[in-house]
Amino acid sequence: MMGQNLAEIFKLTALSFILAILWTPVLTHYLYKHKLVKQIRQQTWDGQPAKIFREMHGKKCGTPTMGGLLIWLTAAGVTLFFNLSREQTWLPLFTLVSAGILGMIDDMLNIRGFVKGLSAKLKFLFQFLIAGLGAWWFYYKLEFSEIGIPGGANIGLPETLDIGWLYIPLFILTVVFLTNAVNITDGLDGLAGGTLAASFAAVMGIALVQGQVGIAAFAGTIVGALLAFLWFNIYPARFFMGDTGAFALGATLAVLAFLTNTVLLLPIIGFIFVVEAFSTLLQWFSKRYLSRKFLKIAPLHHHFEALGWPETKVTMRFWVISAVMATIGMVIAFL
């Protein structure tokens, strides 16, 4: 049975990859024809000129964004067409599409001249609304209130811990955090796509071993679409993922972690995203309260660029770290 399920998942993963490859020229033509180009940021978070950033990435001006449409539209189409287990896939599918639409709106505002897109307050408001709806459904409809303790049985701890109503704020904060963490990571050609592929592949493996074939297949369709996206997004990128991809995939990864009861493994499976997000928070804290920079430029991948590392070197080393950590996360989940 495991072999049959694995074969079916790989078929859907391959199908997602092929379909995404086939319709990429259509999407690329549309993005370039309508000049859906992201505005290069002119200021840092504190209003200072983003001189270092412009020097490193000014040449990318003119590359279209919203390439994330390729990923979530393909994954959603394959899921709906093949009627994967609705009980297991409707929740992550809703998250994928709703967060993707929110990101698309933000991208469109940026393209039309609003460099910052949606205001931070509005972005967080809508992210909290999406996450809050998911938390309500998990807690009140599905009656989820337990979180898994990785390897707990091997160290004298319970396998799960019932946290009661605290499940709701944990769910909301995790979804919002990971949504923005992936968005922060999406700053170099191929970086977010490669690290996301490793994370979703890990979730796919965990769900398969748990017997949640629908979730594993859903994660597989995302992996397939991500690999197709990477074909065109690796340096030099034909298009960028944009917020429409980063929002959709970050939120969905968080929801899948709750469905597989591996939320405590997210800092390992999504290691790069966590590090990137905290590097930005540390930079903000250091500049605000210590009046000095923690990094040359945040997030961490831009810091390495500022040190003289080629963009491809940063990306590939982050890929390696992400793959290793995702594998470690899977191993711990199987203990």
Residues sharing a CB contact under 8 Å with residue 269, sequence separation 6 or more, in sequence order = 199, 202, 203, 257, 262, 325, 326, 329, 330
Residues 6+ away with beta carbon under 8 Å from 215: 85, 88, 89, 92, 203, 207, 256, 259, 260
- Whether residue 243 is annotated as binding a ligand: the answer is yes
- pTM summary value: 0.95
Spell out the per-residue pLDDT of the chain, length 335, in tens.
Answer: 677 889 999 999 999 999 999 999 999 999 999 989 876 665 554 445 566 556 666 567 789 999 999 999 999 999 999 867 767 899 999 999 999 999 999 999 988 876 566 888 999 999 999 999 999 999 999 999 999 999 887 787 888 999 999 999 999 999 999 999 999 999 999 999 999 999 999 999 999 999 999 999 999 999 999 999 999 999 999 999 999 999 999 999 999 999 999 999 999 999 999 999 999 999 999 988 888 888 988 999 999 999 999 999 999 999 999 999 999 999 999 98
For the chain, the domains span 2-334
